[in-house]
Copies of this chain bind each other. A is one copy, B any other.
Amino acid sequence: MNFDELKQVVEALLIATPEPLSESRFLQCIDTEIDVSLENIIEALSQDYQKSGRAFEIIQVAGGYQLVTKEDYQIYIKRMFAKSSRLRLSQAALETLSIIAYRQPVTRNDIDAIRGVNSDSPLRTLLERKLIQIRGRDEGQGRALLYRTTVEFLQYFGLNTIKEMPKLREIEELIDNDELSFV
């Protein structure tokens, strides 16, 4: 396969995939030796799209590449989805998700303890939206169910890996420079 053919295959895969296309999955699909990386092909495609003024672009997310519409068109697409428009997450769901992202795998009790309130309802929302998953049980007594984030979580927030999460501030930092102004 020459470079142009490879570009077309990658494009077809991007159009057809509901999940990010990673280098390894791409190599499984073409099933032959090539001397360019997926990154090179993606770069070339991105340039094509830019030059020809396409309404979409390729982003790097959740360890792979995905095709998304450019932000300029969100107003039109929103109207198309008017009735089933995407609901933003509640404050409770965002707090719960932050804790799971950093403490995973984590039990419901641990989440409740940090939030100071019962988290059943946000947990249910997050499970239904597939942003978190139930993964095994705690070793400790009680053997509580453990929660983790999913690939959809990374996609939803545009993160490439969990390491791209905003940094959790050290407690000392919280005290030193804070809008809370602990006089």
Chain A contact residues, CB within 8 Å of chain B: 4, 8-9, 11-13, 15-17, 19, 21, 25, 28-31, 48, 52-56, 67-70, 72-73, 76-77, 79-86, 118, 120-121, 123-124, 127, 133-137, 143, 145, 151, 157-160, 164, 166, 170, 173-175, 177-178
Contact = CB atoms under 8 A, between A and B. Distances in A.
11 contacts: A9-B76, A13-B73, A13-B77, A15-B55, A15-B67, A16-B77, A19-B85, A25-B83, A29-B76, A52-B52, A121-B178
Given A8-B55, A28-B82, A134-B166, 6 more contacts: A12-B76, A29-B76, A52-B52, A123-B174, A136-B164, A145-B166
A175 B56 contact: no
A4 B81 CA distance: 23
B136 A55 contact: no
